[in-house]
Amino acid sequence: MGFMDSRLIHLENGTPIRLRNPGIADARRILAYRKKEAHTHDFEVVTAEEIKDDEELQRKWLFSYIQEPNKLCLIAETLDPRNSEVVGMLDFYGHPWLRLAHHGTMGIGVALAWRGRGIGRALIQTMIDWTHRHPTIEKIYLGVWANNLRAQALYTSFGFIEESRRLAYFKLDHGHYVDEIVMALWVKDPLRLAYLRSS
């Protein structure tokens, strides 16, 4: 896993939130967060019913991230010593193949009660800071639901731009289709400019 020093942020009301890399011991809390999140998010790809209540499987997923230097996982958590709660999560998957190793794909989510308070922005900024120091990552990709305008506005504020669109990528229970917008951000500008000049 790409490691980042733990960061402490304060929300507008003064609430402290810690951002850090999770460990294997966080598997149970992350699983609880994912299952709860899937019930409250209109833009979750995996439904709550599809998330297996399997702590060992979650530990294996975390271990796969810990092993790979081109992957990053971050959690945002409250600081209540009696009941610290995971309230947000970001993962970045960098490719293992040499010709794709210059980019990767991120996913992010924030718990319903904590959305719109700056946690998502802090997670993304932390990831971008990590990519600036990473020896091979030059570009970040993400996929966003075409009807998730709030998320698109957040990504655009960081400089992400739409590169393509996958038509009818998501199919909802009632038969309604939603496109996926693929957005990207070059995090090492000289390399982006070299690519543009060679095109």
Residues 32-48, buried b or exposed e (16+ Cβ, 10 A)? ebbebbbeebeebeeee
Residue 5 scores a pLDDT above 90 = no
Sheet hosting strand 139-145, strand order edge to edge: 7-10, 16-20, 71-78, 86-94, 103-110, 139-145, 177-186, 161-171
Residue (of 51, 52, 42, 131) closest to 93 by Cα position: 131
Mean pLDDT, residues 86-114 = 94
Contact yes or no for 76/8 (Cβ under 8 A): no
The C-alpha atoms of residue 9 and residue 78 are separated, in whole angstroms, by 10
Q: How confident is the model at residue 197 (pLDDT cuts 50, 70, 90)?
A: low
Q: Looking at per-residue confidence, does 135 or 83 come out higher?
A: 135
Q: Which pLDDT score is estimated for 175?
A: 87
Q: Identify the pLDDT of residue 133.
A: 93
CB 91 within 8 A of CB 71: yes
Tokens 């009818």: give the residue: 168
The pLDDT of residue 191 is: 60
* Residue bearing tokens 């896993």: 1
Nearest to 105 by CA among 71, 74, 146: 71
Residue 191 phi, psi dihedral angles, 5° rounding: -70, -40
Structure tokens given for 92: 């970045």
Q: Is the per-residue pLDDT at 80 higher than 90?
A: no
Residue 92, pLDDT above cutoff 90: yes
- DSSP 3-state assignment of 3? coil
| Relative orientation angle of helices 119-133 and 149-157, to the nearest 10 degrees | 40
**Tokens (6 digits) for 90:** 């970001």
Query: Is a pLDDT exceeding 90 seen at residue 168?
Result: yes
> pLDDT tens for residues 20-75?
999 999 999 999 999 888 888 778 888 888 888 888 999 998 988 888 889 999 99
Sign of CA dihedral 163, 42, 48, 126: positive
pTM over 0.85: yes
Distance between CA atoms of 141 and 131, rounded to whole angstroms? 12
CATH topology of domain 7-143: Aminopeptidase (3.40.630)
